[in-house]
């Protein structure tokens, strides 16, 4: 069966090299890798904990965390201020 999938360019290049080295077509290599992955029991991948910061700080008063536009403008303002300060760091 033919299908189309999106694969990272570097990963695809590595897969093509490996297929050549192993004397396989790209399709055969992808199929073998997919079969190995599907043979693994579902849920057997170790989930790494997400770090949670419990320190001080937080958003500045008046910052709307639900607005992508407001956050982007705030970041632009901070970057412009850092450039004006000459430090190259955000305040």
Q: What is the pLDDT of residues 14-36, one digit of tens each?
A: 999 999 999 999 999 999 999 99
Confirm if 15 and 29 have CB atoms less than 8 A apart.
yes
For residue range 6-15, list pLDDT tens digits in order: 999 999 999 9
Place of tokens 């399709």: 27
59 in a structural domain: no
Torsion angle of the four alpha carbons 68, 74, 80, 85, in this order, in degrees rounded to the nearest 10: -150
Please state, in angstroms and rounded to a whole number, the distance separating the CA atoms of residues 24 and 29. Answer: 6
Count of structural domains, the chain: 1
Q: What is the pTM of this model?
A: 0.47
Assess if residue 76 is contained within a domain. no
| Domain membership of residue 34 as a residue range | 9-39
């Amino acid at each position: 069966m033919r299908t189309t999938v999106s694969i990272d360019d570097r990963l695809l290049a590595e897969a093509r090299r490996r297929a050549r080295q192993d004397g396989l077509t790209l399709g055969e290599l992808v199929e073998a890798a997919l079969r190995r992955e599907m043979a693994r029991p579902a849920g057997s991948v170790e989930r790494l904990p997400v770090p949670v910061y419990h320190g001080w700080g937080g958003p500045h008063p008046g910052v709307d965390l639900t607005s992508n536009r407001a956050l982007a403008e705030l970041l632009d303002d901070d970057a412009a201020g850092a450039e004006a300060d000459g430090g190259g760091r955000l305040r």
